[in-house]
Amino acid sequence: MKSDIVFHIIGNTGPFSLMGESSGYLIIVHESHYLLECGAPVFPALGIQGIEKLKGIFASHSHEDHRRWFTDLALFMYYDSPLDKKIRLISSEQILEEYHKNSKGALERSLSLDSKRIIDIPYSHMVDQVIIGPRSKYYISLETEDNGRFCYKVRDRQGNILGPERAKIFINPNANRPRLLYKDDETGLWIEPESYYPFSSTIFYEENKNTFLDEEAELTVEAVKSPVWHGVPTIAFRFRTPRNTLFFSADTVYKPSLWKELAETKRPQRFETISREEFEQKSVIYGDINDFIEKTWSPERYEAAMSAYKDAVVIHDVARKNSVVHTDYVDIADVDIKDLIFTHSPDNLTAWRPILRSGKRLILTQGKVYEWVNGQLYPFDADIYIKHFSGHYVGYESLEGAFKVIENEGLLGVAQLDGPGKSLMRIDLYEDIDGEYFPILLEANKCYRKRPDGLVEEVTFEKGSSKGRVVKNLRGKLSYVKAAASS
């Protein structure tokens, strides 16, 4: 159907995965193709024709595992593609600036056509930047004084300078990147506005939310910042068609108890490196901005974060534990989100929810999510999902199951029934081969092989020879068997 959302996974491993796939997804609505992140190997996945079909790239943030192929795409479209178009990059104003800074070295210099001169190429000749989400009302401006020296100032969009009683610029010598400290209009607290306010706030952001619209596909895309907590500027995306909504969480710490603490805790300012009098007078301060932020989140941001995941299929990043800037599994394992699917996951993870892998294709249709496998749509109805170095597996609850689900410090695992660990559930285990399910093989001389014609063989190795037999996909039948057994 026209309003269906196709979500094709190009790569979804964690940032330091041995698989090295990084993060990249292809979103198709009607005949409109978009990349969501470009950290995965998009050239071999999409091919030249697939890349030339792209109408844009949605970028959540500028970490390399999410943007690694961006400059290659820009260079290809500029130099090698027969199409007369630039790569279209869609993100918030702040993230677009980060992409520009991080890409300058690769894009803005080349050789002349005769190879005799080094030439400068404007970034805008290669990249069409599209802002999604509201612009800030106030920003840090790097300017030149009459004596030729550079200086930082805070201005509003009308060009007016904000004095030190309302805004200050902090430069940490350890990072040398300016950050804005702002006095909140309502509370009088000193806050970092990019962290404090959600996009819905008109105190710091303009009213125009810059929602992205693809009229041909009847697709709207909203930038969401409220629940995203990652350190570097990062946004989530809400993709909507008339019948479907997909929420992509981006890298984040999903932890409502932490969010509440961020919104409620008021911290005293620390005047250890500068006196209070100097602080009040200065517009530019060299030091740690965290010594002077009195509250991290606004109550409005907390409320917006708590409601951000409603009424959508949610694709959410996940980590194992103590990840700091990602969502630990224990914090989201039992959350009340109906259609929750994990991505950007470590190489070894067991979860109650589906875990994506490269090559899978999801279809959102009529408000529900399915996996597309050989022309068939299958619901995610397994009881447990396992991503392991050796492969991908699913488990279905069974009173006679030879395996059990166990838990250790909030992390799940699967063991044989007579192995250590208390059983949370007995299961039958199946191997996931490109979305088809087959009984797990425990014999060392057996394995599954997918043939060129798409059929799967169980191969048995014997001395000097091997033999195979075609086996049938059990997916779609297992849920019926489980339902019959429980009744």
Rounded Cα distance between 382 and 274, Å, is 59
Same domain, 389 and 437: yes
Rounded Cα distance between 403 and 364, Å, is 32
Same domain, 330 and 406: no
Same domain, 460 and 362: no
Strands (E), 241-347: 245-248, 284-286, 313-317, 340-343
Rounded Cα distance between 126 and 394, Å, is 44
Same domain, 55 and 160: no
Domain boundary residue, one of 345, 361, 377: 377
Confidence (pLDDT) at 389: 87
Same domain, 228 and 282: no
Token pair in block for residue 369 = 């999510």
In the sheet with 456-462, reading across from the earlier edge strand, the strands are 446-450, 456-462, 465-471
Bridge partners, 247 (sequence order): 238, 314
The residue among 187, 190, 207, 191 whose CA lies nearest residue 199 is 207
Same domain, 330 and 392: no
Q: What are phi and psi of 264, to 5 degrees?
A: -105, -25
Same domain, 181 and 275: yes
Same domain, 66 and 172: no
- Asked if the structure places residue 431 within a domain, the reply is yes
CA angle centred on 20, ends 18 and 22, rounded to 5°: 130
Same domain, 117 and 145: no
Confidence (pLDDT) at 479: 67
Other Cβ atoms within 10 Å of 345 Cβ, number:
24
Domain boundary residue, one of 355, 377, 399: 377
* Tens of pLDDT, residues 179-212: 999 999 999 999 999 999 999 999 999 999 999 9
- Asked if the structure places residue 257 within a domain, the reply is no
- Asked if the structure places residue 256 within a domain, the reply is no
Residue 76's identity, in one-letter code, is F
Are 27 and 239 spatial neighbours (Cβ–Cβ below 8 Å)?
A: yes
Q: What is the DSSP letter of 214?
A: E
- Total-model pTM: 0.95
Between β-strands 87-91 and 54-58, what pairing exists: parallel, antiparallel or unpaired? Answer: parallel
- Asked if the structure places residue 232 within a domain, the reply is yes
Helices 299-307 + 256-264 axis angle, to 10: 160
Rounded Cα distance between 355 and 371, Å, is 12
CATH number of the domain that residue 108 is part of: 3.60.15.10
Are 56 and 64 spatial neighbours (Cβ–Cβ below 8 Å)?
A: no
Are 34 and 26 spatial neighbours (Cβ–Cβ below 8 Å)?
A: yes
Token pair in block for residue 224 = 């969401």
Confidence (pLDDT) at 484: 46
Residue 128's identity, in one-letter code, is D
Q: What is the DSSP letter of 289?
A: G
Confidence (pLDDT) at 485: 47
- Asked if the structure places residue 75 within a domain, the reply is yes
Same domain, 10 and 104: yes
Domain boundary residue, one of 319, 345, 377: 377
Rounded Cα distance between 211 and 90, Å, is 11
Same domain, 328 and 410: no
Long-range contacts of 400-406 (CB under 8 A, 24+ apart): 400/426, 400/428, 401/426, 401/427, 401/428, 401/429, 402/428, 402/429, 403/427, 403/428, 403/429, 405/350
First to last CA, the chain: 35
* Tens of pLDDT, residues 1-52: 788 999 999 999 988 888 878 999 999 999 999 999 999 999 999 999 999 9
- Asked if the structure places residue 258 within a domain, the reply is no
- Asked if the structure places residue 400 within a domain, the reply is yes
Same domain, 100 and 152: no
- Asked if the structure places residue 254 within a domain, the reply is no
Those residues of the chain that have pLDDT short of 50 are 483-487
Confidence (pLDDT) at 480: 52
CA angle centred on 460, ends 454 and 466, rounded to 5°: 90
What's the structural domain count of the chain?
A: 3
Structural domain boundaries, residue 409: 381-486
